[in-house]
Chains A and B, each alone.
Chain A
Amino acid sequence: MNPIWNMARKEFCDGLRNRWLLAISLLFAVLAIGIAWLGAAAAGQLGFTSIPATIASLASLATFLMPLIALLLAYDAIVGEDESGTLLLLLTYPLGRGQILLGKFVGHGLILALATVLGFGCAMLAIALLVDDVDFAMLLWAFGRFMLTSALLGWCFLGLAYGLSSLCAEKSTAAGLALGVWFFFVLVFDLALLALLVLSKGQFNPQGLPWLLLLNPTDVYRLINLSGFGTGTQSVGVMALGSDLDVPPLALWACLLAWVAVPLALAYGLFRRRAA
């Protein structure tokens, strides 16, 4: 059998064994159902409002959670094996470093994808069953896209986590850096962008600024999920910049895919350089 699949199998079984898969799926399901029904409570409404509003709320939630979960899942992938002494063994086995890394990626990626489908799928099912006169085609399309991009977002942060894990000599350093990465992409980046926008008072090239959004996978992710509903969704914060961004949806998808591939390739480069 394929060595990549054998590595992936171990990671996936670990995810089942330590209940990660179960916990993430449950967390997603509870939060998604909660948001679908209570998301509009701030506006004085209770119950399901609309698909675009639900997806927008879910996307904001997943922007926080997905990277955090992916980083937690994968930050010790390399350095953890090194500290426990098993990396030394693995490297003497007939499998290359690329296969080790890719195997872990497939295993962890499968856990994330399955948890996304199980968790958010539950919410979709609940909406389909419990809400009257919901547009099924629209629901399936919006949720399908949401789940797929959520998985891609998670995979992107898996790659980043492997990079950190290959770089660090100690698990605690990798954990700290992982939190830093999360903080940067989820909180700091958008704030910095907004600050830039406000401080520059329009001096900054208005055509150029929205392109900066593509430098953050979580922004690309939200841009994809907020688009395509026609009018009626107001974007807030940095997402408002996205409306100035004149790129086709396909380009956004390509960008998100690149955000999966590039960190993974980078992690491979770092892992190759790591001393045994």
Chain B
Amino acid sequence: MMNVVEIEGVSQRYGRATVLHDLNLSLAPGEVLGLFGHNGAGKTTAMKLVLGLLRASAGEVRVFGRAPSDPHVRRWLGYLPENVTFYAQLSGVETLRHFARLKGAPMHQVDSLLDDVGLTAAAGRRVKTYSKGMRQRLGLAQALLGEPRLLLLDEPTVGLDPFATQDLYRLLDRLRAAGTSTILCSHVLPGVEAHINRAAILTQGRLLALGSLAQLRAEAGLPTLIRTCGLQRVESLQQRWSAAGHVTRRWGVEGLQVAAHNGSKVQLLRQLLAEDSPSDVEILPPSLEDIYRHYMDSAMVTAQEAAL
């Protein structure tokens, strides 16, 4: 099947500053891609290229096999900008109706979308009186007008409370199941892992890493942490594991933490259960945050080496 988004060798320059270096990315139908990076890493620029708001200085961007500035393409797009704002004097429902008309979306969708994002009660109020989170939810409803086949969400969870964030993730899962492709631009947030197919990590306009979470974990070679407590023979276990080359640390009074590198996790667990009877065992695979930090740190080291 044809990729929804195809970014090939794209560089973007503003004057003398290059904000994207030779970016290659693609998005399959029904895929959710998380685009992570610090502020100024080039996330928003990448989005603007896909939206056709910017023309790439070099390389090619294709959306649904066409140029992103093609008006047909825009009919299939939904975009939630960072810090979305609306006409202050219009009410929520008036705002959504205006955008629905512009997009050619059916009017009955307005009410159901307001309901989906939990704004039905506030629909008649002026947007001026909305809180940040409410504006964000209205922005999301706006992005979903006309049942887009590609969603671009720039920091969609900013200003949302934890419950609303969970609602948003659930909504994304539903859309993904329905075949909508999504690019989710974000700072790394706990809990986002479960809702993305692939993650791309950008820093200073360069793609540091790209792949599914499992691939990135394997590539980063980060250990899974095993934490136990309620052990009888903490010291002997720690000595044994340290001697075998594992990094261990005491965890609480009668607990122990061990870092299990590539595939040693099951073996360590077996030893643990054979030699002791822990009251509890926690297994912590490297989180997206750990992976992100790993890539950021290694990028920093590379940059420093290059500077020397």
CB-defined contacts of A10 to chain B, threshold 8 Å: 98
**A276 CA to B68 CA, complexed, in Å:** 14
Which residues 75-94 of A sit at the B interface, judged by CB distance below 8 A? 84-86, 88-94
Interface-located stretch among B101-109, B160-168, B184-192, B295-303: B101-109
Which residues 87-138 of A sit at the B interface, judged by CB distance below 8 A? 88-96
* Docked-complex contact B71 and A85, CB < 8 angstroms: no
CB-defined contacts of A86 to chain B, threshold 8 Å: 85-87
* Docked-complex contact B102 and A96, CB < 8 angstroms: no
CB-defined contacts of B79 to chain A, threshold 8 Å: 89, 92
* Docked-complex contact A92 and B89, CB < 8 angstroms: no
B83 touches which of A17, A85, A91, A93 (Cβ 8 Å): A85
**A92 CA to B102 CA, complexed, in Å:** 11
- The answer, yes or no, to whether B142 is at the interface (CB within 8 Å) is yes
A7-B102 CB under 8 A given contacts A92-B51, A94-B71: yes
Distance from B61 Cβ to chain A, minimum over Cβ atoms (Å): 14
* Docked-complex contact B53 and A91, CB < 8 angstroms: yes
- The answer, yes or no, to whether A180 is at the interface (CB within 8 Å) is no
* Docked-complex contact B48 and A276, CB < 8 angstroms: yes
Give a binary string over B63-82; 1 marks a CB under 8 Å from any A CB, 0 the rest: 00000000110110101010
A95 touches which of B52, B71, B87 (Cβ 8 Å): B71
CB-defined contacts of A85 to chain B, threshold 8 Å: 81, 83-86
**A276 CA to B72 CA, complexed, in Å:** 19
| Residue of B with least CB distance to A17 | B89
**A34 CA to B137 CA, complexed, in Å:** 52
- The answer, yes or no, to whether A3 is at the interface (CB within 8 Å) is yes
A96 touches which of B71, B81, B85 (Cβ 8 Å): B71
CB-defined contacts of A93 to chain B, threshold 8 Å: 74, 99, 102-103
- The answer, yes or no, to whether A205 is at the interface (CB within 8 Å) is no
- The answer, yes or no, to whether A6 is at the interface (CB within 8 Å) is yes
**A276 CA to B50 CA, complexed, in Å:** 13
- The answer, yes or no, to whether B269 is at the interface (CB within 8 Å) is no
* Docked-complex contact A89 and B84, CB < 8 angstroms: yes
**A177 CA to B52 CA, complexed, in Å:** 31
CB-defined contacts of A14 to chain B, threshold 8 Å: 87, 89
**A271 CA to B83 CA, complexed, in Å:** 23
CB-defined contacts of B85 to chain A, threshold 8 Å: 84-86
* Docked-complex contact B104 and A94, CB < 8 angstroms: yes
| Residue of B with least CB distance to A83 | B85
* Docked-complex contact A88 and B99, CB < 8 angstroms: no
CB-defined contacts of A17 to chain B, threshold 8 Å: 89
Distance from A78 Cβ to chain B, minimum over Cβ atoms (Å): 14
Distance from B81 Cβ to chain A, minimum over Cβ atoms (Å): 5
**A92 CA to B139 CA, complexed, in Å:** 13
* Docked-complex contact A89 and B88, CB < 8 angstroms: no
* Docked-complex contact B77 and A92, CB < 8 angstroms: yes
Give a binary string over A1-29; 1 marks a CB under 8 Å from any B CB, 0 the rest: 10100110110001001100000000000
* Docked-complex contact B71 and A89, CB < 8 angstroms: no
A276 touches which of B53, B83, B101, B142 (Cβ 8 Å): B53
A94 touches which of B48, B74, B81 (Cβ 8 Å): B74
CB-defined contacts of B284 to chain A, threshold 8 Å: none
Which residues 12-68 of B sit at the A interface, judged by CB distance below 8 A? 48, 51-54
**A257 CA to B244 CA, complexed, in Å:** 89
* Docked-complex contact B88 and A84, CB < 8 angstroms: yes
CB-defined contacts of A84 to chain B, threshold 8 Å: 85-88
* Docked-complex contact B54 and A276, CB < 8 angstroms: yes
**A3 CA to B77 CA, complexed, in Å:** 17
CB-defined contacts of B104 to chain A, threshold 8 Å: 1, 94
CB-defined contacts of B74 to chain A, threshold 8 Å: 92-94
**A96 CA to B102 CA, complexed, in Å:** 11
Distance from A104 Cβ to chain B, minimum over Cβ atoms (Å): 13
Distance from B124 Cβ to chain A, minimum over Cβ atoms (Å): 14
CB-defined contacts of A3 to chain B, threshold 8 Å: 102
**A10 CA to B52 CA, complexed, in Å:** 25
* Docked-complex contact A94 and B72, CB < 8 angstroms: yes
* Docked-complex contact B101 and A1, CB < 8 angstroms: yes
| Residue of A with least CB distance to B146 | A94
Which residues 226-263 of A sit at the B interface, judged by CB distance below 8 A? none
Which residues 77-135 of B sit at the A interface, judged by CB distance below 8 A? 77, 79, 81, 83-89, 98-99, 101-104
CB-defined contacts of B53 to chain A, threshold 8 Å: 88, 91-92, 276
**A96 CA to B77 CA, complexed, in Å:** 15
**A242 CA to B57 CA, complexed, in Å:** 53
**A3 CA to B79 CA, complexed, in Å:** 19
CB-defined contacts of A96 to chain B, threshold 8 Å: 71
CB-defined contacts of B101 to chain A, threshold 8 Å: 1, 6, 9
Q: Can you list 24 contacts pairing A with B, beta carbon distance less than 8 Å?
A: A1-B104, A6-B101, A6-B102, A14-B89, A17-B89, A18-B89, A84-B86, A84-B87, A85-B86, A86-B86, A88-B81, A89-B81, A89-B84, A90-B102, A91-B51, A91-B53, A92-B52, A92-B77, A93-B99, A93-B102, A94-B71, A94-B74, A276-B48, A276-B54
Closest 5 CB pairs of A and B: A276-B53, A85-B85, A94-B74, A6-B101, A92-B79
Other 17 A-B pairs with CB < 8 A, given A85-B86, A93-B99, A94-B75: A1-B101, A3-B102, A6-B102, A84-B86, A84-B87, A85-B81, A85-B85, A89-B81, A89-B142, A90-B102, A91-B51, A92-B52, A92-B74, A93-B74, A94-B71, A95-B71, A96-B71
